[in-house]
Amino acid sequence: MENLNQIIKQFPEVGEVKEVKALTSGLINQTYLVKTVDPQEADYVLQRINHQIFTDIDMLQHNIEVVTGHIRKKLEAQNETDIDRKVLRFLPATDGKTFYYDGEGYWRVSVFIPRSQTLEAVTPDSSYLAGLKFGEFQAMLADVPEQLGEIIPDFHNMEFRMKQLREAVATNAAGRLSEVQDIVDAIEKDADEMCSAERLFREGKLPKHCDTKVSNMLFDEDGKVLCVIDLDTVMPSFIFSDFGDFLRSAANTGKEDEKDLNNVRFNMEIFKAFAKGYIESARSFLTPVEIEMLPYAATLFPYMQAVRFLADYINGDTYYQTKYEGHNLVRTKAQYKLYLEAKAAVPEMKDYIAGLL
């Protein structure tokens, strides 16, 4: 803890610290809750940013400052109350930057949002509200004052993710290929179809927007959406990213790393509620092709996640933090099962969306 306390001291706004607790849910960054002594003072979230993955920390934090500043201004213009609970605020370190480099790692501190929760299991009601909010966020970001940097190039580019998988297969670094050949073959069968968004983009038929990752949202005690808490991957991308990635977790009846595949099903009620809310608030700016492809987006993200987990497994677990041997393979199978379930539900998704228009 001594080291962490030294780091916290680099952010002068933080008062006397009572306790620092590790929070364990993220797969990429290390996160701590910093509780302060003074009950009047906010608590904080301290993060060590994974700079193997986020290699350009200046760009990363700059994107986040642009986006949070823009949202804050809009909320103020709308005379919103309680703004500190609705948009994140990152503290300046002694040199004025919103991060601190200790010679080894990069650290940042944001204000902890009180009386908030992340929802483990979303209900149709909270999904509907999330969908509404998600469209609102995209609309708010439509006129973000500057072009954001592409923080992880090709992050949600399916062609690129397939290329990574194929490289992993060709190299077979950890000698695990023979064990997973079946699932590699199954994934390859659908690769062309799943790369369609990238092709349409190249042909000028699909636009890219500035996208947040709304799948990491905070809700208040009543289940209303407060705020987006994972802004690391805000960058130009398809609107499908948030739509698909939200459903990848929310509409999965099992866990992301579920071992019992019978538990992994695609929850249509969650899909319907989310799509209804989203289309209500986003309809004004969505193109017909985007609307038509929303069911595809619901299949793309479990598919892409399966590809990413599988590539990492074949590479010997170099990207995602794992809790046990074989964890990435368990994740792969669970995501692939979810993909199959979502794919089977596409006709029903299409009918439902047609009925909303």
CB of 357: closest distance to ligand GN1 in angstroms? 29
Q: What is the 3-state secondary structure (H, E, C) of the chain?
A: CHHHHHHHCCCCCCCCEEEEEEECCCCCCEEEEEEECCCCCCCEEEEEECCCCCCCHHHHHHHHHHHHHHHHHHHHHCCCCCHHHCCCCECCCCCCCCCEECCCCEEEEEECCCCCECCCCCCHHHHHHHHHHHHHHHHHHHHCCCCCCCCCCCCCCHHHHHHHHHHHHHHCCCCCHHHHHHHHHHHHHHHHHHCHHHHHHHCCCCCCEEECCCCCEEECCCCCEEEECCCCCCEEECCHHHHHHHHHHHCECCCCCCCCHHHCCECHHHHHHHHHHHHHHHCCCCCHHHHHCHHHHHHHHHHHHHHHHHHHHHHCCCCCCCCCCCHHHHHHHHHHHHHHHHHHCHHHHHHHHHHHC
In the complex, the smallest distance separating the C-beta of residue 301 from ligand GN1, rounded to whole angstroms, is 8
- The reply on whether position 230 binds ligand GN1 by CB under 6 A is yes
84 binds ligand GN1 (CB under 6 A): no
Q: Determine the size of the site formed for ligand GN1 (CB under 6 A).
A: 8
Shortest distance in whole angstroms from residue 304 CB to ligand GN1: 8
- 53 contributes a contact to ligand GN1 by CB under 6 A: yes
- Minimal distance, residue 179 CB to ligand GN1, in Å: 22
Shortest distance in whole angstroms from residue 226 CB to ligand GN1: 18
Q: Which does 268 bind (CB under 5 to 8 A by kind): ligand GN1, Mg ion, none?
A: none
Interface with Mg ion by CB under 5 A: which residues? 216, 230
The smaller minimum CB distance to ligand GN1, of residues 36 and 305, is found at 305
Among 43, 150, 256, 280, binds ligand GN1 (CB under 6 A): 256
Select 116 or 281, whichever has its Cβ closest to ligand GN1: 116
- Contact window for ligand GN1 (CB under 6 A) among 26-34, 169-177, 181-189, 343-351: 26-34
